[in-house]
Amino acid sequence: MSRTPLRIVVGITGGIAAYKAVSVVREFVKDGHHVDIIATEAALQFVGRPTLEAISRNPVLVGLYDDVAQVRHVALGQQADVIVVAPATANTLAQFATGLAPDLLGNTVLARRGPLVVAPAMHTEMWDNPATQANISTLRSRGVVVVGPGVGQLTGSDSGPGRMSEPEEIVAAAYEAVSGEAKHDLLGKRILITGGGTREPLDPVRFIGNRSSGKQAVALAQRAMQRGAEVTLISAHLEVEPPAGISLVSVSTAAEMHSEVMTLSPDFDIVIMAAAVSDYRMDSVSGSKLKKADNGGELHLTLVENPDILKELASAKTAEQIIVGFAAETATGEDLLRLGQEKLDRKGCDYLVLNHVDWNEGFGTDRNEVKVLSSSDDRIIKVSGSKLAVADKVLDTFA
């Protein structure tokens, strides 16, 4: 929540998500800020001028040549504390990236002095298009805050990356940008993150798995990307969609994760091993479904140990690399800290993010409470909050 009243320009461009821009404007107005809406002609095909004027309590501006005497195309940009463009279409992003200004919004963005926040919304194919990706990289490298897009149901029957982020997230990003909290401290860093739970097959149908949802790893990937890093996520089984804009490598077993981590890690500055990796796998996976009748009331499985990826990685790391491990333990209090310290020493990583897990704690939840241990000193950093907030604080430790 921002304190002093701000002058905010909300740019609305021609996408179906324009209806969600109404909620963005409403939030700003509710918080006491002055909002000028600049809509493109296309935006007004999706949402009506009366709605936007009633919500913003100001006339909606569209044309470059309306009220030229007020030199609006320069004044609005110069005066705005922040410009928020939601939704930002692929076409709009391309214009911003190349400095084109065919309309009032383009001119205002070029003439601005404050931060620019864009919330892309488009079909997955357009988002994935190398041209759009290059434009997004250009904008990020210039400090533009890119919020989302999220992954989910799109306008048609399809779903995927391209859905505009929720209004609250866009509003929060705008306030962060104004207060200078929008960090780009990971610009130029390459971060490899593992997440989710591995699955070790018993037979073609069954597996040994764990309750990791991958939410904390996905939150880390999202925040690292927003803070400017180039992120690759090696994902085992996830229960949440990874953010758009990162590279994704999907694996299933610990052995697959081992191979990907060892192959990719030399090219990364920071490796964060947030995945829940199975310590064991079947010594031989049955080629056909195991039958109950074959086993006379008992089923005996022979498991063999998986490679400890984190330990191997830490022993192979270069002096510049930072390796971060995770440890989920059911112990509490001093026992938890002792286990964490032992694990940090045994694995040889630079940091260990320690959290207490239980039937109702840690797995699948949206909140987390962790302690970050460091190999270089005795500091114990305690962090709690949403998994996104925890991700931020964890990244702060070594950013």
* Residues catalogued as catalytic: 210
Q: How far is the CB of 246 from ligand C5P (least distance, A)?
A: 18
**Residue closer to ligand C5P (CB basis): 166 or 308:** 308
Residues near ligand C5P (CB under 6 A), total: 13
Site for ligand C5P in 186-215 (CB under 6 A): 194
Q: What is the 3-state secondary structure (H, E, C) of the chain?
A: CCCCCCEEEEEECCCCCHHHHHHHHHHHHHCCCEEEEEECCCHHHCCCHHHHHHHHCCCCECCCCCCHHHCHHHHHHHHCCEEEEEEECHHHHHHHHHCCCCCHHHHHHHCCCCCEEEEECCCHHHHHCHHHHHHHHHHHHCCCEECCCEEEECCCCCEEEEECCCHHHHHHHHHHHHCCCCCCCCCCCEEEEEECECCEECCCCCEECCCCCCHHHHHHHHHHHHCCCEEEEEECECCCCCCCCCEEEECCCHHHHHHHHHHHHHHCCEEEECCECCCEEECCCCCCCCCHHHHCCCCCCCEEECCCHHHHHHHHCCCCCEEEEEEEECCCHHHHHHHHHHHHHHHCCCEEEEEECCCCCCCCCCEEEEEEEECCCCCEEEEEEEHHHHHHHHHHHHC
Q: How far is the CB of 261 from ligand C5P (least distance, A)?
A: 8
**Residue closer to ligand C5P (CB basis): 129 or 397:** 397
Contacts with ligand C5P, 261-290, as mask; x by CB under 6 A? ------------x-x-x-x-----------
Q: How far is the CB of 209 from ligand C5P (least distance, A)?
A: 14
Specify the stretch interacting with ligand C5P by CB under 6 A; choose among 152-160, 199-207, 302-310, 354-362: 302-310
Site for ligand C5P in 312-371 (CB under 6 A): 325-327
**Residue closer to ligand C5P (CB basis): 247 or 330:** 330
28 lies in the binding site for ligand C5P (CB under 6 A): no
**Of the candidates 399, 20, 28, which has an alpha carbon nearest to the alpha carbon of residue 220?**
399
**Residue closer to ligand C5P (CB basis): 37 or 357:** 357
**Residue closer to ligand C5P (CB basis): 149 or 340:** 340
Choose which of 232, 306, 355, 368 interacts with ligand C5P (CB under 6 A): 306
Q: How far is the CB of 223 from ligand C5P (least distance, A)?
A: 18
Q: How far is the CB of 220 from ligand C5P (least distance, A)?
A: 12
Q: How far is the CB of 277 from ligand C5P (least distance, A)?
A: 4
254 lies in the binding site for ligand C5P (CB under 6 A): yes
Contacts with ligand C5P, 75-94, as mask; x by CB under 6 A? --------------------
Specify the stretch interacting with ligand C5P by CB under 6 A; choose among 39-47, 68-76, 85-93, 303-311: 303-311
Q: How far is the CB of 183 from ligand C5P (least distance, A)?
A: 25
**Of the candidates 245, 246, 249, which has an alpha carbon nearest to the alpha carbon of residue 235?**
249
**Residue closer to ligand C5P (CB basis): 240 or 275:** 275
Which positions lie near ligand C5P, rule CB under 6 A?
194, 254, 273, 275, 277, 279, 306, 308-310, 325-327
